[in-house]
Structure 1
């Protein structure tokens, strides 16, 4: 286990945790960046790349490291920009055996590669932390407007989310096998940030993620000085979400952008055939906000098209 007592106040240290070897016998390490403040305070964990093709979180942490913005005045920051190095090398969400790392927690020292990596994270890193943010993106061709997912019935979750102040905060339950649920069982709240789509850099998602981390550190007393600027998009808290799905196959034409506010009954999209004889409208079943959008123009019946967040809540 990493020993934070080995790191002096005000010191930065990079530690490379040995994970496994490639079939070529090339050693795979997981770089961990640790920043310790001169004063005592909480320990924040920032993780990205649990899904190897989700690049925006990696870009967020890379920027924060390169711009030397993670050194706290009080407390400690642990940043792991790339957890699933195997998936990153393959441009894949999963590991070489097809396992999803974010469904393999809390892991085990033996078994699948995913369970081994999860075990390292849960035993080497999580015992040290007080709270964390895990950075993700939407899936293939599915863009998420920058958002934080947390459990509303947990007051600490909500307080941390409000401190991060993303454009949207969503009520999201814990998924079995996920990093978030495994950490929660140990009393360590981890929020999930979602922004953009896989295999593609989204500038807005990166900028909002960086700003959110700085706001969170400031609110938790980890950095001093002038507070970070307020969010470009004032935070909206949404209790419910639902995916609108294609009723038929065809060509998907969105009439809205992600982040848009829409009214009940508003036309959101249409699906046409390639020949001009079929046109099916997609309308909003509720007023709300577009928090996710399919960027693939060719869809099949049942495909997720538009993620609608609604039931605005004042916290």
Structure 2
């Protein structure tokens, strides 16, 4: 399996020559109606030698920001100017995307199903296909995500920052914050890392909504990574000189059930003891404040005003001192260690 560009690259039996851009539709399955379902892929094989990189989106079918990011990246990529090969997959979970659902028809999470099985469940088969036809042909990967379940995320990079090369192109992306995160079993990033492929995850925005600022930052970040890998001569300038490094994260939870009135926005810096919002009943009675336990920055929050007792409402991050290493793991809304969306 060739990993050197400036040679024809083969995807699903289709060869893409140097200097060529080609769309490929890989058969995935047939729906109960008999309609064929395919995995759409755009391969841009540069005229000059360089690494092979994949960019994926909609591993969770309702996370649409990444779909638009890939479209905007492709507008800027010309095969004659590209060094290396770019394999883009804007809609990995084609089942969930068509149903506007995070999951697959069997209710499995595709991002807990990698590296997959050739003859396993729907999720396992799709994961296996994606690994074989895309991931294992590459040396680097960028997986694009958003928040889940009515939550929105501040643009952020999650990657293995203990690996020097991964950290280099994670910082090149230029997201407002970056965090070190080990990879959880079943995730695309874990499967790719186990195969020796350096991978980062970009998280920004919310499901089923375009966030133009997050999309623009994502597009620019991808182009900066391609430049850092020597695949492009130019890239947009980052908005800030350095990304902030996250040392740890925590969730602020609702003390009671009710209607949320949030007082903070994504990216807001908060101090210990600051009120972040209020949860009360429909009349404004029985109000309980949401209080930050320590100083930090808001990297995520729910957009659903109806919350339950104990529900994770605001995601706070503590910044690491300059020059220090990040010390996750982070925890999910249920308080369990988690490292992937």
| Range of TM-score over shorter length | over 0.9
What is aligned with 2:304? 296
1:6-155 residue pairs with structure 2 within 5 A?
6-65=15-74, 67-69=75-77, 71=79, 73-155=82-164
CA pair 69-75 structure 1, distance change in 2 beyond 3 A: same
The counterpart of 2:316, out of the listed 302, 308, 311, is: 308
1:199 counterpart = 2:208: yes
The CA distance in 2 between the partners of 1:312 and 1:255, in whole Å, is: 25
- Of residues 256, 270, 281, the one that matches 2:264 is 256
**Distance (Å, rounded) in 1 between the aligned partners of 2:272 and 2:185:** 33
TM-score, normalising length from structure 2? Answer: 0.87
* Counterpart in the other structure of 2:336: none
Residues 286-307 of structure 1, C-alpha deviation per residue, up to 9 Å, x if partnerless? 2111000111111001111000
2:30–2:36 Cα contact (<8 Å) kept: yes
Q: TM-score, normalised by structure 1?
A: 0.94
Residue aligned with 2:320, SS:
strand
1: CA distance, partners of 2:109 / 2:95: 12
Give the CA deviation at 1:156.
2.4
Aligned residue number for residue 240 of structure 1? 248
> Distance in 2 between the 1:70 and 1:100 partners?
35
Given that residues 70 and 77 in structure 1 are in contact (C-alpha distance below 8 angstroms), is that contact kept between their aligned partners in structure 2? no
Give the aligned length.
Answer: 313
In structure 1, the residue matched to 2:9 is: 4
Which residue is 1:286 aligned to? Answer: 294
SS in structure 2 of the partner of residue 97 of structure 1:
coil
Give structure 1 regions of 4+ aligned residues with deviation exceeding 4 angstroms: none
Deviation at 1:273, TM superposition (A): 2.0
Q: Deviations over 1:49-77 (max 9, x none)?
A: 11111111111112223x24364521111
For residues 284 and 51 of structure 2, what CA distance do their matches in structure 1 show?
A: 60
Q: 171, 175, 181: which one pairs with 1:172? A: 181
- CA distance, structure 2, for counterparts of residue 140 and residue 90 of structure 1: 15
Deviation track 1:124-164 (CA, whole Å, cap 9, x = no partner) reads 11121111110111012200011111123222221121011
Contact (CA 8 Å) 2:260, 2:280: kept in 1 or not? yes
Q: Distance in 2 between matches of 1:88 and 1:157?
A: 29
Shift of 1:13: 1.6
Structure 2: runs of 5+ lacking an equivalent: 3-7, 324-341
